[in-house]
A and B are shown apart, each in its own frame.
Chain A
Amino acid sequence: MQRYAWLAVLLLASLLIGARVYAQASAAAPDDAFATAVTGLAADNFPDKAAAVTALIELKHPGGRAVLAALLDGKLYFRNADQQVFITDGGETSLALTDPLTQKSVGSGTPDDYTRITTNNSLRKTLRSAVASFALTDPDPGVRLDAVREMLRSLDDDSVALLRSRLEQEKDAGVRKAMQEGLALADLDSSEADTRLAAVDALEDSLSPDVYNRLTAMVTAAEDGSFPEADERVRTRAREVISAIDASRQVYATLETLFFGLSLGSVLVLAAIGLAITFGVMGVINMAHGELMMLGAYTTYVVQQAMPNHIGLSIFISIPLAFLVSACVGMLIERGVVRFLYGRPLETLLATFGVSLILQQVVRDLFSANNRPVETPEWMAGSLQINEALSITYNRLYVILFMVVVFVILQMVLQKTSLGLKVRAVAQNRNMARAMGVRTQWVDAMTFGLGSGIAGVAGVALSQLTNVGPNLGQQYIIDSFMVVVFGGVGNLWGTLIGGMSLGVVNKVLEPWAGAVLAKILVLVALILFIQRRPRGLFPQKGRAAES
């Protein structure tokens, strides 16, 4: 009995001492413990390394995650001379070194002086779940969501246990949902039919392809007629869930097509709207319109070259500048060529075509025949992930917004300003307007300048979507003519609706017929449409239509 008492005292004492030592170590110098553990990683056998890893996980030191991730990626090295451990970039010719404790760069070294710290399978497994668990406690919900998604890709008992334990503490709804989805997927492997049924129920709203594939696999019969899922109730429920998922995916696919169509339509409207003004108001076919867009795109390029460090800002400078450049060139064309040809639309067409050839060659001589690289500002890159079935790229979204802004401004100019009043007057009845004292020549020049300037602004948008080269204008000129003719001449709303519907029809046909055939079909349909309604969707009425 006394022996036991002694043992108990000894145990107590050692525990107390141990706790004191531990408390000192963690309170006074957590960095020391961290450093010790990190150095431990450089051990030459796996059990010691594993111990060091475990120590690192338990320390929960802020630098731990980076060290463990580097070890997992094979980017953790130690210096041969003094066994000091560094996080590196894994470079082959030289290693960029980062101190694990301070996370600061400490120069670089040659790979010969360093040895990579190797791992084995069981260690990697521990590391993976450790890294994931670090990520799951990250304050940023985005990082947590990524971590959950990463874990869903290869679920095992450890990660399921980890997810289950974190689910309670998770506050962010999105991350919770992803976690529940992962747990439900894991539950599908349960031996209890009721658990599986509940899991299938829980997956009803999920759009992730993993879930879809998993459920489909469950109800797909094997060659001998048996199903991977034994229970009939679960299979029936799974089929219902699959068709529900199918339906909602279909909805999102339609939405996406619609969105693609609207963004293509916006490009068409941007390209055509300047043309609609010159064509509608002046009855002038400006074949150089595409080249005025090209000038706008090149203006964007030049502005970016002038301010390479402010690409995001450069767009906002390019827009007014492109307007000015194209408007000036447009007015030059009007004063130099077009004004001599009023009343002879076919001749105007030919002369402006000549101008377009000259402009193309000017650009070729100034900037070479090769495409020029125009950078996309950061705020336009990437996409807006609405859910797993639908994401919207920002550049397409901004094109739609940009088109709306341009359209509204243009409508304001035409409806609310004195210039707009005169433009409309001349468009309705040139002679009467002149009799009322409107300087029609001046109005013509301004209208042409306005239409051309809009083309330049459209060019800025195009520079973000397509290659900027001397042929940029030619690619869009036929499309923009079709939009104007389809919508009806002299009607901006017609151009808007015409362009949007052409864009949507094109994109709806595309998955079914392929991009080129879709375009051909649209062209043929347009040719046939013009036969039915020669003046477009919204023809001008009254006397103006007769001219």
Chain B
Amino acid sequence: MKQGPLLNLLVGERGTAVFLVIVAIVGIVVPVLHLVPAEGSALQLSGYTMTLIGKYMTYALLAVAVDLVWGYCGILSLGHAAFFALGGYAMGMYLMRQIGTRGVYGDPVLPDFMVFLNYKELPWFWHGFDMFWFAMLMVAVVPGLLALLFGWLAFRSRVTGVYLSIITQALTYALMLAFFRNDMGFGGNNGMTDFKDILGFAINTPATRVALFVASAIALVLGYLACRYITLSRAGRVVQAIRDAESRTRFIGYRVESYKLWIFTFSAVLAGIAGALYVPQVGIINPSEFQPINSIEVVIWVAVGGRGVLYGAVAGAVIVNYAKTFFTAALPEFWLYALGLLFVVVTLFLPRGFVGLLDRFGKKPAAPPGNAKTVPA
């Protein structure tokens, strides 16, 4: 059966089709269940649950971004949570400016923490964040520019493998230390919170929450499809060739650095968008989002789901985060054991994650195991 390019993009792969159907159903059913049934009825889905699912969806988008660079291009970034947090901070700055005179100190321009820290005027990098379009631009531009600069320096001088992983980790660590400083002008260790409204709508009403939820679902689907489009394209094949044999690809004549740089930058932008959707839903952003462990956790979501498979990354993000929500409430002291074991078991026994497990028991023969073996860096 011959398919058009659009149809191939949407349903050319069984997992993708299933993913799209599930997100569509969740994106419609959850808001309906939240809004329509009467308050307190058994059918009603609480705002907490909906926000939780919304949060998982932003995580899933982050996981897709990591899967794109790691699963398809072989760049193990241990600093992607930094791009996520930067997008979140851009959104947080917009939300802080929207508070206006309703803050504790009632200053029309300066956010509370600046009044508290004796700022006399708005730092230059806060200008423009009162405008939504500008803030949204920054959500993409700031992580994108950082990734572009970092990637340009790193890929040009052929920093690869574990070296790259370590310096991405150093990057997020340096950013964490920087954002913890009060005089950076980003709220220090308290970060930003107490948001009031977004685009003029109060942020805590059910309608706004539903809108944010739907926006997350749409962003996830669009981000996913964009990544799928890239991986299916000619450039995507080159990228996978780089993953499997970087030197050989270079000798054939491809500009390996450029491919890596653009895929890395695009992935960072996606992570930034995920962060921007995450912040209004959880209502806070602080420097602990930059912790190196956060970035490593994202990698394990992807590994658990199955790297090199986009819907695997989504599944992994949801599974691991649901387990985390469950364990940290029920058996908090057990969570680190579970997470630690997950790292060990997945890398030792499930190199292709749960997707690989499904394939093994599934009807169709296993997909080409190209992503299971990696050429040593």
Contacts and interface: CB of A to CB of B under 8 A. Distances in A.
A519 B174 CA distance: 8
B159 A357 contact: no
Interface string A281-312: 00101000000000000000000000000000
A351 B165 contact: no
B170 A346 contact: no
A346 B150 CA distance: 20
Given A346-B162, A346-B165, A527-B171, A517 B181 contact: yes
Contacts of B127: none
B166 A482 contact: yes
Contacts of A360: 336
B318 to A, nearest CB: 19
Contacts of B296: 350, 353
A361 B377 CA distance: 32
B173 A478 contact: yes
Interface in B167-226: 167, 169-171, 173-174, 177-178, 180-181
Interface string A510-539: 000000110110011011101110100000
Contacts of B178: 516, 520
B166 A351 contact: no
**For the complex, would chain A's binding face be called helix, strand, loop or mixed by DSSP majority?**
helix
A485 interface: yes
Interface string A324-358: 00000000000001001101111111110111111
Interface in B110-156: 150, 153-154, 156
A208 B252 CA distance: 72
A364 interface: yes
B300 interface: yes
Contact of A485 (B163, B336, B347, B348): B163
A361 B170 contact: no
Given A346-B76, A350-B300, A527 B167 contact: yes
Contacts of B180: 516
Contacts of A527: 150, 153, 167, 170-171, 174
Contacts of B377: 345-346
Given A351-B347, A520-B174, A357 B340 contact: yes
B174 A353 contact: no
A361 B333 contact: yes
A478 B290 CA distance: 14
Nearest to A519: B177
B351 interface: yes
B339 interface: yes
Contacts of B3: none
A357 B300 CA distance: 13
Nearest to A529: B167
Given A341-B348, A347-B347, A354-B340, A523 B170 contact: yes
B356 to A, nearest CB: 14
A524 B171 CA distance: 7
A547 interface: yes
A361 B76 CA distance: 26
28 contacts: A285-B165, A285-B166, A337-B344, A344-B374, A345-B376, A346-B162, A346-B374, A347-B347, A347-B374, A348-B347, A349-B76, A349-B162, A350-B296, A351-B348, A354-B343, A355-B343, A357-B336, A364-B336, A481-B166, A485-B166, A485-B167, A516-B180, A520-B178, A523-B174, A523-B177, A531-B154, A531-B157, A531-B159
Interface of A: 283, 285, 337, 340-341, 343-351, 353-358, 360-361, 364-365, 474, 478, 481-482, 485, 516-517, 519-520, 523-524, 526-528, 530-532, 534, 547
Interface of B: 76, 150, 153-154, 156-159, 161-163, 165-167, 169-171, 173-174, 177-178, 180-181, 292-293, 296, 299-300, 303, 333, 336-337, 339-344, 346-348, 351, 374, 376-377
